[in-house]
């Protein structure tokens, strides 16, 4: 019985050590540098991902290509995520991050920008429908 419990504990430790980090505001806070550009099928760069992005603790996303800081939300409700995926089926199976202009009302189900995202180690991946994934590395 002890051997069985030891195997279970070891399996859990292995799974946790190799899993992606849970996406939350705290994990994103800081500056991120683009290392792989998102492009459409014609090779045009995606206008919704900047060369450098900063996420703040109060839920703002700041980038040089944005006219003002955007509000962002990770881990939307199941209903918000379902609405976003219905509009962007290419992002199905990814974690969802919603974004909108800083002065927009906070109806996240109508967020105009939807990202499929993944956070692993010090790498952050953002995908917009119709574009290849953009990859970022956390700056020190």
CATH of the domain at 78: 2.40.128
Q: Does any domain span residue 58?
A: yes
Both structure tokens of 23: 């996406």
CA distance 68 to 61: 9
Classified as helix, coil or strand, 28 is: helix
The CB-side HSE value for 102 (13 A sphere, CA atoms) comes to 12
Both structure tokens of 128: 């917009």
Number of domains in the chain: 1
pLDDT tens-place string over residues 62-115:
988 777 889 999 989 999 999 999 999 999 999 999 999 877 677 888 888 999
Q: Does any domain span residue 84?
A: yes
CA angle 53, 113, 25 (to 5 degrees): 50
Q: Does any domain span residue 15?
A: no
């Amino acid at each position: 019985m002890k051997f069985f419990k030891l195997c279970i504990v070891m399996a859990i430790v292995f799974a946790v050590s190799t899993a992606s980090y849970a996406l939350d505001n705290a994990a994103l806070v800081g500056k991120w540098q683009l290392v792989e550009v998102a492009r459409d099928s014609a090779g045009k760069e995606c206008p919704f991902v900047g060369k450098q992005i900063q996420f703040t603790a109060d839920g703002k996303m700041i980038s040089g290509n944005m006219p003002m800081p955007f509000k962002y939300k990770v881990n939307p409700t199941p209903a918000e995520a379902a609405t976003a995926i219905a509009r962007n089926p290419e992002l199905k199976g990814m974690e969802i991050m919603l974004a909108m202009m800083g002065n927009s009302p906070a109806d996240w189900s109508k967020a105009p920008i939807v990202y499929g995202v993944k956070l692993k180690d010090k790498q952050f991946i953002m995908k917009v429908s119709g574009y290849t994934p953009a990859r970022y590395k956390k700056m020190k």
